[in-house]
Amino acid sequence: MSNREVVVLSVGGVRFVTRASTLQQFPESRLARMLNEEDREFKLVNGEFFVDRDGTLFSYIMDFLRTLQVSLPTDFSDYQRLRREAEFYGLYPLADLLSQEHLLRPRLEILEVHFSLQEMQAFFRIFGSCSTTVGTLAEQITVFTGQQSGQSWNSPFPSQKPLVPLPLERPSHHDVAFHCGTDYSAGDQFVARYVSIKPDNRKLINGTNVLGLLLDTLLKDGFRLISTRTVSSEEKVECYSFERTRRPAGLTVTVNQTPGSSGAAQAKRSQVQKGK
């Protein structure tokens, strides 16, 4: 039976089909011993192994055996029950990861966009609870500057004149600041600042247009607008608040086969960072 390539299990009435090698990822587990009919909890009926356990939770057990990674839905809450199932099957590396529930739970991200208009310029400051998200957003935003003749707020981008990219202000890891528009320099000369937000290729000078593009970018990235308020009526500062449920980093187990261990698996815990 241990040499059988395809194995069928019925767990609490839910049918699973997998490879024997998948069940043997951890040779000391009950699932691996099941293939040799060494565990009475598993009954072989009409060529299928039957076990009276939770079939829904077993789907996460199978996903772990196939990927060696714990990745749970954002609405998952049965951590203790899944850990109990992992212990029943003798998958102690999985049970160990599930004991670190705080690493597996989804996290709520909060992000605020402060926007103000002052004459011919618009000022932006973005605050975020997750520094990684703020850093990623900062990489998408580029500010270009150049001295233009007769430039005004609504004038089109003068493609014939080169613009110089400017670094964004990063007061801390959790916020980023920039501004756009025009400022009087000398004579009929104006210093103009344009903003580009990837993947959009446009260079925008109008602050209202930049705000619209920024908000649209956040919405497409999974954020939800939860409130809009005026922070300062005198300075004309508006605040747009967003939230997003962020999946945690996946937790993975590395299995090493060591000489002389009779195929016993050693598990080591590590984190796999996922991009946002």
Average pLDDT over residues 190-209: 92
Structure tokens that stand for 33 in this block: 């011993």
Q: Which domains does the chain have, with CATH numbers?
A: 6-105 (3.30.710.10), 108-246 (no CATH)
164 φ/ψ angles, rounded to the nearest 5 degrees: -110, 125
pLDDT of residue 14: 95
Residue 247: both structure tokens together: 């999946």
Q: pLDDT of 93-116, one tens digit each?
A: 999 888 887 777 778 899 999 999
Q: How far is CA 57 from CA 5, 79, 105, in A?
A: 24, 10, 17
- Count of beta carbons in the 10 Å neighbourhood of residue 185: 14
| Residue-averaged pLDDT of the chain | 83
- Token pair 């966009």 in the structure block, residue: 113
What is the pLDDT at residue 105? 76
Output the 3-class SS for 23-92: HCCCCCCHHHHHCCCCCCCCEEECCEEEECCCHHHHHHHHHHHHHCEECCCCCCCCHHHHHHHHHHCCCH
Condensed to tens digits (0 to 9), the pLDDT of residues 21-36 reads 999 999 999 999 998 8
With b for 16 or more beta-carbon neighbours within 10 A and e for fewer, the 58-97 pattern comes to bebbbebbeebebbbeeeeeebeebbebbeebbbebbbbb
Res 155: pLDDT: 53
The secondary element (H helix, E strand) that includes residue 22 is helix 20-23
Residue whose pair of structure tokens reads 């602050």 in the numeric block? 207
The pLDDT tens digits for 145-169 are: 987 665 454 555 454 568 899 999 9
